[in-house]
Every structure is written in structure tokens, then in C-alpha cells.
Chain A
Amino acid sequence: MTAPLHEPTAEAAPGAAEEAAVAAGDAKAVQGRSLGRIAWERLKRDKLALTGGIVVLLLIVIALLAPVITSLVGQDPDLYHQSLIDPLFSTPKGSLGGLSGDHLLGVEPVNGRDIFARILYGARISLLVGFLSAVVAVILGTVLGILAGFFGGWVDSLISRVMDGLLAFPQLLFIIALVSVMPNQMLGLTGTGVRVFVMILVIGFFGWPYIGRVVRGQTLSLREREYVEAARSLGAGRFYILFKELLPNLVAPIIVYTTMMIPTNILTEAALSFLGVGVKPPTSSWGQMLSSAIDYYDSDPMYMVIPGVAIFITVLAFNLFGDGVRDALDPKASR
């Protein structure tokens, strides 16, 4: 069951599955299929979700191997090819944005950098920010949500108000504002490093209430269950109950919300770079490519289409996969 999910939380899933099976009781008597097993079998039958999952895997491999792949095709994302640029219009020579055997997706206007190589390197930024900001959001959301749901009282009120407040904030504007006041050097990082780091933190920070609310709600209903009472009567401490009894049962909703959050985060990163507050040139990012493509949307439309399609495919793949995971883990699903 953990194989297709690739989530940091996935390791905890088998525990949840066993517990759920034990809780269900009669499941064992019939066939002994765990909840995780059922979910995986449902997911396997969902062709769209599976396709999405495979594309996501491919993208991860591509992003990881970007330097290898680009050197295999003999390209460098930062190398200028002035000879391929029409000096009069500063657009690439030839049709379809300078598409050729050497330059698989053509070259950029003005400086003639290889688009294929830049797209591959852009994938690294997109996925890195998308995943890690989701990790930040999941950690914050899970810990704070579970605390709010379990302890109730003023802890709950405080955390819930903070969540409501964050959700009511004009998020994109705040993210832009925060990213733009950050200095160019901090914690030993410089330039792109700082920007990526800040984006991960800020996007993650604005994302946690979505997970936090769900986790809080689930915790509220789970903490009254008999097995929690049983653990308590056996003398289990609060934190043992929190992390050993409750957390494994929260894994399913957390996985669902994580898979749905990653594409949103990828879009946010692209938007920030598009607006010029994300990663700065020469580091390549899809949003930033689109932003420089604005000036050439009529003379070199390929320059705009390629990064746009890259974003589309990535986000769609994550969405398809996320939808599939949600349906597979949803006990109410009729299929």
C-alpha cells in the first residue's frame, strides 16, 4: 500500500491499516484484507489516477536526473546560442521557436538558451517547493490540529482562531509581501537558496490550516472512541495516546490532503516566479519562463506554450492522482 504514495507519512500507514482492520473486527474473518490493501486495490482499478501517479513518478525522476539528462542531450540551461537568434526580431530562427534535433523544445528569444534544459531544471524548483512546502504544512497542521482536537479548551480556541484568521487572509498578497521583504542572504544561504527556502516556509505556513482543520475534526471524533479509553485505562500517557493511538488513524485524511496540496503549492510557486518575486534569473523556473514569454506571445508563441504545458501536465497529474487517492481511501466511496 505504501508503494505508490511516496509521502513521508506513508511509513505510518501499515500501522493504521492494521489497527483499522482490528477495529473492524469481522474483516479478518471474511478475507483479512486491510484498509490499506483495499485502498490500493481500488487505486489500481482507477486508470486515470494510476496514469497521474506514473506521470508524477516520471516527473520526480526527471527532476532528480535533470543534470544527467541535459548533459546526455548535450545541452546546458545557461549557455547562450546567439547564432540561433534572428538579429532583427530577436526571436529564434526557424519554425516553432527554433525546434531542432539539438534543441528538442527550441531556444529562448534574445539569448537562445535551450528550453528543454531549462524546463528540466525548472521542474526541480517546482517539485522541490511543491513537496517541501507541503511537508511544512503537514507537520504544522498535524501537530497543531491534533493538539487542538485532543486537548480542547483554550488550546483548541487559540489554535482554531489562528486557523480561521490565516484562512481569511489574502494569502497570495501576504506571500508576495513576505517573500519580497526577505533579504538576499540568511542562514548561510544566498540568492536562489534563500528564495527557495523562504518560499517553502511561507507557502507551507499559509497551507497548514487546511490540514489542521481536518486533523482537528478527526481527532475530536476519534478521542472519544473505545480504544482510546482502553489505552487510557491501561495507564497510557497523553502523548502516547496522541502519537501512537490517534496519529495512525489520521494518516488517511492527511495523505489525501497532502496530495491535494502539492499541486496548489506548485501553482503558487509558479505564480510567485511569474510575478518576479520567486526565484530570480538565471535560475530557471516555469513561472519565470512564462513571465518573460509575455513579451513574445505574438512573435514566439512556443516560448509561452512550453512552460505553460509543463505546469499543466504536472498539476493535472497530481490532481488526478490526488482524486484517485481520495476516492480509494474514502470508506463511503460506492465503487
Chain B
Amino acid sequence: MLAYLIRRLFAAAVMLVVIILVVFSIFFLVPKWAGVDIATSFVGKQADPHAVEAVREKLGLSDPIYAQVWHFFKGIFVGRTYAAGGDVTHCAAPCFGYSFRSEQAVWPVLTDRFPVTLGLALGAAVLWLVFGVAAGVLSALKRGSLWDRGAMVVALSGVSLPIYFTGLLASAIFVFGLKWGSGNYVALGDSVTGWFGSMILPWITLAFLYAAMYARITRATMLEILGEDYIRTARAKGLTEPVVIGKHAMRSTMTPILTMLGMDLGALIGGAILTETTFSIPGLGQAVLTAIKNQDLPIILGVTLITSLAVLIANLAVDILYAVIDPRVRLA
């Protein structure tokens, strides 16, 4: 188990370095090939050449790419000072860059936005896991029944509906039509009940989409597993049906579900961009979208890195859980 863990951790660390390199390439090399001056996008479209030169010097944009990556890495651990001429900006210890567009360090933006998105993702995940898996298991057990057909039609519609449509529709019906709530985001720090109330609609809408996907996967996996020999053996041993399903079949069904959960949760925590845009929730996704519209590269870079980190951690957690559930994985 320990060897397995170390191997996974090592792989995750390598992956993180690769991701940082790729992110850097996207933001610093692609524009170069495409013939766009990166310094201009740090200042603004109407920047005068003088300001562009100052930014280039301040951010070290004319340094070779490996030097830039190194400065960025160093900044994360010891902080960083940007200086050009008499103009000095300091960025404290976990320095994920400094946005000269919005005159703020990237790290506080990330820490402000992160809990919002985390709340959205976790709340929705609980809902979709419970309802999606339950619907999938029931469908598999009552295969071909009216319930099964109904659930699968709803699920198929669910995976075909984009959240930015269902979200708007839900807002139009519940917030505008039935006057349930104001439709504005309430921060958890301001009012716990207010926050809960403002999150219900986003949670349900987001969970619906994923529950549909999870129900389909659960049903398919469950059906396959119910055909396995060991299930027949369990039944032949005289185990009751709840034990056969709940203990024997569910354990195997959960492995692919967990893999999906890890990936989905990681991606969501990193920025439920579409949900946040639809419901105007001030999370990481909205931050990155605003940054993209303002061409605020340091913020995009910071969020992308945090997102990748979230995906990595989620995948790592899943790998570990996987090994707990399925002993064969540890040996592989």
C-alpha cells in the first residue's frame, strides 16, 4: 500500500510540473508563434510603447522561458518583487503572479473565490451521487420496467441539456415566475441560511446534469456486474438479495463511479465556469472568465494552475480510495 501511495504521489508531482510547463507554453509561447506581443496583453490594448517596455522589463518577459518558469516557481515559495526603474511592486510569499491589469496579487483572488466554488461543487456532488446512483441501481434492478424506461429517458434528456440552458430556465421559472428567493448570491460569511437558500437552485440544476450521467453509468455497470459469476455464487450461497446487491454488487459498481467523481469534482472545484456564469456566483470560474475578457493573463494562469492542482488532488484521492476498495489495484 505504501509503495503504491508513493508511486501515485510521485506521478502526481511529475504531472504538476508538466502542467505548469504546459500552462506557461500556452500563455507565453503560443502568442509568440502567433506573432502577438505578450507584454501588450499585460498592459492593455491602447498601451503606449513606453508602458509596454516597462512591463516587459518588470515581468522579465524577455528572459528565456525556463528563467520565467523558475522565477514563477520561486515566487510561490519566497514571494517575488517586480521592479522596473523606480517602480517596485512586491508580491508576498505564496506568489502566484501579480495582475497589473487589476493591480492586485493573484493569490488573494484565488483564496477569496475558492471557498465559493468549493461549496457549489461539494453541495451538488452530494445531491448527484445520492440521486444518480440510487436511480441507476433501481433501474438496473428493475430492468425494462416503467421506472427504468422513465428514469433513462429523463437521464438521456439530462445529459443532452446544457447547464446554461437549464439554469436560465430554472431561474426564469423559480426566481422570476414563482418568486422563490432573489436569485442573488449570498456569501456564507454574511448569512448561513441566506447562502443555503441562494445555492439551492444552482445545486439542483448542476446536480441534475451530473445525476443523469451517473445514473446511466451506474445502470450499465450494475447490469454488467449482475451477470458476473460471483453474484451467482453469492446467491447460490443463500445470501439475501439486499446483501448480494448492497455488499457484493455495489462494491464493484462504485469503482468506475469513484473514478468519474474524482475527475468531475476536480474539474468543478477548479471552476464551474458555466454554472457560475449562469447563476452569477462569484467563484473561481467567474474570476477566470472575467480575466479572459480583460486579457488578464496572470489571473488566468493562477486559476488554471489551481484548477490543475484540484484535478490532480481529486484524482490522487480517487486512486487511494480505489486501492482501498479494490485490492487488485495495489498489486498492479
Q: A183-B35, A297-B168, A297-B172 are in contact. Are A170 and B270 (CB under 8 A)?
A: yes
Q: B274 on the interface (CB 8 Å rule)? A: yes
A168 and B19 alpha carbons, distance in the complex (Å): 10
Write out, one digit per residue, whether chain A residues 180-199 have a CB within 8 A of any chain B CB (1) or not (0). Answer: 11110010000000000000
Interface size on A, residues (CB 8 A): 44
B150 at interface, CB cutoff 8 A: no
Chain B positions within 8 Å of A274 at CB level = 162, 164, 274, 277
Measured between alpha carbons, how far is A263 from B157 in the docked complex, in Å?
A: 12
> A164-188: which have CB < 8 Å to B?
165, 167-174, 176-178, 180-183, 186
B165 near A304: Cβ-Cβ < 8 Å = yes
Given A304-B168, A319-B159, A170–B304 Cβ distance below 8 Å?
yes
| A271/B169 in contact, CB under 8 A | no
Contacts of A275 in B (CB 8 A): 273-274, 277, 289, 292
In the complex where A176-B292, A274-B164 touch, is A169 in contact with B311 (Cβ < 8 A)? Answer: yes
Q: Which residue of A lies closest to B280 (CB)?
A: A294
Give residues 299-332 of B contacting A (CB, 8 Å): 300, 303-304, 307-308, 310-312, 315
Docked complex Cα distance between A164 and B312 (Å): 11
Q: How far is the CA of A297 from the CA of B173 in the complex (A)?
A: 10
Task: Name A250-280 residues within 8 Å CB distance of B.
Answer: 263, 267, 270-271, 274-277
Which residue on B lies nearest to A307, using beta carbons?
B165
The stretch of A61-69, A72-80, A206-214, A308-316 in contact with B is A308-316
Interface string of B264-291 (1 = CB under 8 A from A): 0011001101100110000000001100
Known: A165-B15, A181-B26, A275-B289. A173 touches B165 (CB 8 A): no
Residues of A within 8 A of B266 (CB): 168, 170
**A294–B167 alpha-carbon span in the complex (Å):** 10
- Is A293's beta carbon under 8 Å from chain B? yes
**Contact at B307–A173, with CB atoms within 8 Å?**
yes
Category for how many chain B residues contact A:
35 or more
Complex CA distance for A277 and B292, rounded to whole angstroms: 8
Whether B165 lies near A311 (C-beta < 8 A) is yes
- Flag B22-38 by CB within 8 Å of A: 1 or 0 each: 01001100110011100
B301 to chain A, nearest CB (A): 9
Main secondary structure of the interface of B (DSSP, over half): helix
The digit string for A27-63, where 1 denotes a CB below 8 A from any CB of B, is 0000000000000000000000000000000000000
With A174-B26, A183-B36 as given contacts, are A267 and B267 in contact (CB-CB < 8 Å)?
no
Contact of B18 among A165, A277, A305 (CB under 8 A): A165
Cβ of B308 and Cβ of A186 under 8 Å apart?
A: no
The distance in angstroms between the C-alpha atoms of A311 and B271, with both chains bound, is: 23
B164's contact among A173, A186, A263, A291, by CB below 8 Å, is which?
A291
User: How many pairs of A and B residues are in contact by the CB < 8 Å rule?
Assistant: 128
Could you say which of A172, A178, A298, A320 contacts B273, with CB atoms under 8 Å apart? A172
**Neighbour of A276 across the interface among B31, B171, B271, B293, CB < 8 A:** B293
Q: How far is the CB of A244 from chain B (nearest CB, A)?
A: 33
CB distance from A119 to the nearest CB of B (A): 14
User: CA of A270 to CA of B164 in the docked complex: distance in angstroms?
Assistant: 10
Q: How far is the CA of A263 from the CA of B161 in the complex (A)?
A: 11
Flag whether B263 is at the interface (Cβ < 8 A).
Answer: yes
**A148 sits at the interface (CB 8 A):** no
B176 at the binding interface (Cβ < 8 Å): yes
CA gap between A182 and B274 in the complex, in Å: 21
- Minimum CB–CB distance for A56 against chain B, Å: 13
Decide if B171 touches A297 in the complex (CB within 8 Å).
Answer: yes
Q: Kindly list chain B residues whose C-beta atoms are within 8 Å of the C-beta of A152.
A: none
Chain A residues closer than 8 Å to B164, beta-carbon distance? 270-271, 274, 287, 290-291
Q: Does B160 contact A (CB under 8 A)?
A: yes
Q: Are B162 and A267 in contact (CB under 8 A)?
A: yes
B52 on the A face (CB < 8 A): no
A25 adjacent to chain B (CB < 8 Å): no
Let me know if B138 is at the binding interface, CB within 8 A.
no
19 A-B pairs, CB-CB below 8 angstroms?
A: A169-B19, A170-B307, A170-B310, A172-B271, A172-B273, A173-B271, A174-B26, A176-B288, A177-B26, A177-B27, A178-B30, A181-B27, A181-B36, A275-B274, A275-B292, A290-B162, A290-B168, A294-B278, A311-B165
Q: Tell me the B residues contacting A by CB distance below 8 Å.
A: 15, 18-19, 23, 26-27, 30-31, 34-36, 156-157, 159-162, 164-165, 168-169, 171-172, 176, 263, 266-267, 270-271, 273-274, 277-278, 288-289, 292-293, 295, 300, 303-304, 307-308, 310-312, 315
Given contacts A293-B168, A304-B168, 11 further A-B contacts (CB under 8 A): A165-B15, A171-B267, A173-B273, A173-B288, A176-B289, A180-B295, A277-B292, A305-B169, A311-B161, A316-B157, A316-B160
